[in-house]
Structure formats: structure tokens, C-alpha cells
Chains A and B, each alone.
Chain A
Amino acid sequence: SQKIEQNSEALNIQEGKTATLTCNYTNYSPAYLQWYRQDPGRGPVFLLLIRENEKEKRKERLKVTFDTTLKQSLFHITASQPADSATYLCALGSGQAGTALIFGKGTTLSVSS
């Protein structure tokens, strides 16, 4: 069955450092991969989408890579800030418009000042 694993449940880093979160998947060939941020008690918020034919995407301090051979995506937050503390979710999509996403359990990032 399809499986998504996010590297660890929790990641603690110091302010200013780069946070790197990992998303691995098996038994699936996604057309694209998305990253979401979820704060406690709130719904997920879309951050970035990367397609299967793209290697890297950037948005401000965020960078996502997508390696379909390794079946892995890396999500980087550079110059991290305490405000970046949240749970980050990886989600896979089939590419058929309107189809549901498959989510990982998420990694909770804590950035200390």
C-alpha cells in the first residue's frame, strides 16, 4: 500500500539555522508533491508545490527538492525563526485534477531563540 514517512516527529533547532525536513514515500508515483504548514488548532496552509519533472522550488526562505528516483523530498527553511515553529506536512498528488492528497503524519519543528 502507499506509504509516506516524514523523517521524525519532532525537530528542534536554534534560530538562524537551516531546518531540513524529509519526506519519503513508497508504492506511489506522484505527479506532484506539496508541503503544508499546520499550527495547533488550525487547518493546514499550503506552502509549496513541486512537480515530478522539477528538481527544486524556492519561495523566500523556503526550498523544496524532489527526487523521484530516491522517492524523497527535502524541505528546507533557511535562517529559521521562532515564528517558523509549527508542524509541516508533506502531501502527494496523483496529478489528476481534483483528486485527493495523501498526507504524511508531519514533522513538528521547534525553533528556539
Chain B
Amino acid sequence: NAGVMQNPRHLVRRRGQEARLRCSPMKGHSHVYWYRQLPEEGLKFMVYLQKENIIDESGMPKERFSAEFPKEGPSILRIQQVVRGDSAAYFCASSPLPLAGGRSSSYEQYFGPGTRLTVT
């Protein structure tokens, strides 16, 4: 059973370019979360999506950042007009559809290896 896949693993962009980060959740998982990890900082929640829906984007900057999780294909985190401050590791996590009764396994999140974005 393949884990969460993210690509590219490393991405270098010049200031002003666009960055597209992809995440394929684990098979059978319909919840996707994006987190950002800045150097010396903890993981910060950005956005939570289910198929074709954004459920919670409270952690996402209002400008330049967008996310989607289409019916077919991976989830995409898109950063337009990147700036140096966007340099960070971006992690995607997935979890299975919550089961009735709140079994603890519903709350585990499985993380991908991350995409390290460097803006020059």
C-alpha cells in the first residue's frame, strides 16, 4: 500500500514565478491537509480539503496561495508570484474517511515526504 506521495521533492523558483506542489493521498483516503514548515518552526496548518471541496483554509495566506483537490488526480498547492519568504518545506498529509463512532484510527494523519521549495 503506497504511502502519501509528493512531488517534486525539491523545487527551485525565482522570485515572481509560480510554484505547483502535488500530493497524492494514500489509497482510500479522501481527506488531504497541507502544512508548511519554516526553518526552526513547527508545522503550521494551511488548508484542509476533501474531494472537490475546500473544508478549512484558515491557515492559508489570503493572497497568492490556492489549493485544490479535484475528483480525479492529486491535490495541488499553488503559490503564485513566489517571494523569498515562501521558502519552506511543504507537507501534505492524508487521513481516511472518518468512521462512525470516532475510532482513533480516523484521526491519524499520514504525511508525505514533503516538497522543499527554495525561492532565489
Contacts and interface: CB of A to CB of B under 8 A. Distances in A.
Interface in A32-60: 32, 34, 36, 41-46, 49, 51
Contacts of A43: 4, 91, 93, 111-114
A102 B45 contact: yes
Interface residues of B, number: 31
Interface in B39-80: 40-45, 48, 50, 55-56, 59
B41 A100 contact: no
B85 interface: no
Nearest to B31: A98
Interface of A: 4, 32, 34, 36, 41-46, 49, 51, 89, 91, 93, 95, 97-106
Interface of B: 4, 31, 33, 35, 40-45, 48, 50, 55-56, 59, 91, 93, 95, 98, 102, 104, 106-114, 116
